[in-house]
A = this chain, B = another copy of it.
Amino acid sequence: MNYPSKILEKAVDAISSLPGIGKKTALRMALHLIYDKNDKASILSSSLSELRNGVKFCSICHSISDENVCAICSTSSRNKRLLCIVENVRDMMAIEDTGSFVGLYHILGGLISPLEGVSPSDLNIDSLLSRLEKNEVEEIIMAISPTIDGDTTTFYISKKISHLNLKMTSIARGVSFGGELEYADEFTLGRSISARLPYKLGQ
């Protein structure tokens, strides 16, 4: 593409480095910002700079935070005996949005993946173990994707905590609410039959 301005070209290159954004979309965005009357470009520029310099990571659960300890870890209203293990911040936010979980979180920052060269030492597993050794947690809930990497990670953690007297559970899998049985994949449907639950009125 021939750009009429070097500054525009630089901005298009920077925008298209974002995931899922190609050169054409980046150009559309850059031109939108140039002609925008509300000065979106300055707001975006300053908030991105703040994002880079101002965001902290919680020293307990490794979530993104404005302080050294995040809002969830520092509140007294959450159940400290329940610990939910998630892969990343997005998964934590998804669970938090359901409003069904009152315990604390621990963010691994990835999954063990020999193929991609991610070993247990690259993840927040050591800090998880030292958290668990304080004997405050009674149950850990593995909310990890059921992929090969996810299963490997869950297995590794289960081995590492086997000496502790801990209940370890995994989030339920099955046919989603509103999902049609005929469109569910065989593995999910099979598992939802073998893990069937007693029928209760109102559930």
Contact = CB atoms under 8 A, between A and B. Distances in A.
A123 interface: no
Given A4-B65, A45-B45, A17 B30 contact: no
Interface in A63-118: 63-66, 70-72, 88-90, 92-93, 96-97
| Copies of this protein chain in the complex | 2
Given A14-B47, A49-B42, A2 B34 contact: no
Contact of A64 (B4, B10, B71): B4
A117 to B, nearest CB: 15
Interface residues of A, number: 58
A52 B156 CA distance: 50
A201 interface: no
A178 interface: no
B33 A92 contact: no
Contact of A55 (B5, B44, B89): B5
Contacts of A39: 52
A8 B63 CA distance: 12
A191 interface: no
